[in-house]
Chain A
């Protein structure tokens, strides 16, 4: 236990502190590799599956590429902020959201992470049900209604037990999980390319299109845009370790915006071939019984690996924010995931879940880009990011301009598209909802910060560095901290 506790303590300190020169170890290739490994995920597979269920092969390909790359193109500039100051995402967001606002965003992120964990584990549970069918196990295990919740909750317990042991146990598991996902994807690509599927792809029809192609395209784009924007909270994670800003920026765009969309493209093509939205049900029709069996095992291990990564990230982030809480208490914040695994309801609502993520991350992306580049003009005080009674307190710890921007974003997004009912305005068919929401948030935040809630820190941007040059002693003597 002490070994685990010390490793966790190191991870908490590592996440909390701004990276010093010694810690900036990642070049362009290192960043691409680590971010691609982290980014290839169950969500990419499901997003691709939804796309392939609505569109033909060439439109699926284009919608997936554009839908992932364009949101990343819009938010990737914020990587320069994290790379310059060496700070993690939730510390960085304090300058635009306020100290308490950043904490509120953390709790939103925490709830979304529960959803991410549930989706990865439910997909793994589905794969084990397919295995149970193949092994002629009793109907309790082989029936999706009972087997999937049983297996996915059991896998949650396994995930929890591995994660609670700390980074050493996780690294051991990931020695299998990371190659498993890569093998799974490479295997699928090989079967699609070298099998007899490629000539047929152009003639295959999507299984669940909407009434018109333009509506299918708009909704498929929106789901992919959600995946593209969903990387926002992760952008600081590795870019803060970059040797320089330009490598961090380029690697962020290429890895999260372009390369990881490969998983979604493969999934879209697999859905067209197998005629099913569920990755677990692709294996047998595409790969045959024995290769399919291996595929199901790889899919299970890979998803458990993804769930471990998410669970650990969430727990460490929680401890970084509340260092006095115990490791077990912090781990306990992931337990509500079990409620999402009791039935397929949440998993089947993935299209709505990713669209809600699109709304949240598009609005936040607009706010932080507006704040860093246009309002504060890249002048941030590192000291005041950490002094939680400092310049970024705004109104009781929350920046009212961020609230204004979120209110405008709600009107724009939900006016264009309702992800729960799939009702949309005609404009949605031409411009999607996530991208206009990003620009609405960006502009409304700027107008509010400059002309409505005129805080000094937002007005006199050239002097923000002045207090930053003062030492803690000076600030303490002035009563500022």
Chain B
């Protein structure tokens, strides 16, 4: 009896829903692995500037109500 992983078993499942889903999954993983992620799409520190400012203002507001 061939020792197959669960992942491979699902790729060859008799249930068409499971098989199709894993075939689709395999395709998407391969696309991701082959193309990687475009570095330009990644968030940078400067993208958090607005969030940090808003958080600082809220913190100051809390501090002001306590004084």
Contact = CB atoms under 8 A, between A and B. Distances in A.
> Which size class do B's interface residues fall under?
35 or more
Interface in A351-404: 382-383, 386-389
A18 interface: yes
A323 B7 contact: no
A245 interface: yes
Contacts of B30: 471-472
Contacts of A324: 15, 18
Given A13-B21, A324-B18, A382-B32, A62 B61 contact: yes
Interface of B: 3, 5-8, 11, 15, 17-18, 21, 24-26, 28-33, 37, 41-44, 47-48, 50-51, 54-55, 58-59, 61-62, 64-66
A388 B6 contact: yes
Contacts of A85: 32
Nearest to A387: B7
Which 8 pairs of residues, A with B, have the shortest CB-CB distance?
A246-B47, A245-B43, A62-B65, A66-B62, A246-B43, A481-B5, A62-B62, A387-B7
A258 B65 contact: no
Which secondary structure dominates where chain A touches chain B?
helix
B43 A16 contact: no
Given A61-B65, A73-B51, A470-B33, 15 more contacts: A13-B17, A62-B64, A69-B58, A70-B58, A73-B55, A76-B51, A249-B51, A250-B50, A250-B51, A253-B54, A254-B54, A323-B17, A324-B18, A387-B7, A481-B7
Contacts, number: 109
B67 to A, nearest CB: 11
A20 interface: yes
A323 B18 contact: yes
Interface in A453-477: 468-472, 476
> Which size class do A's interface residues fall under?
35 or more
Contacts of A388: 6-7
A58 interface: yes
A258 B54 CA distance: 9
A244 B61 contact: no
Contacts of B41: 244-245
A250 B17 contact: no
A412 interface: no
B24 A65 contact: no
Contact of B43 (A73, A249, A476): A249
Contacts of B7: 386-389, 472, 481
A9 B29 CA distance: 21
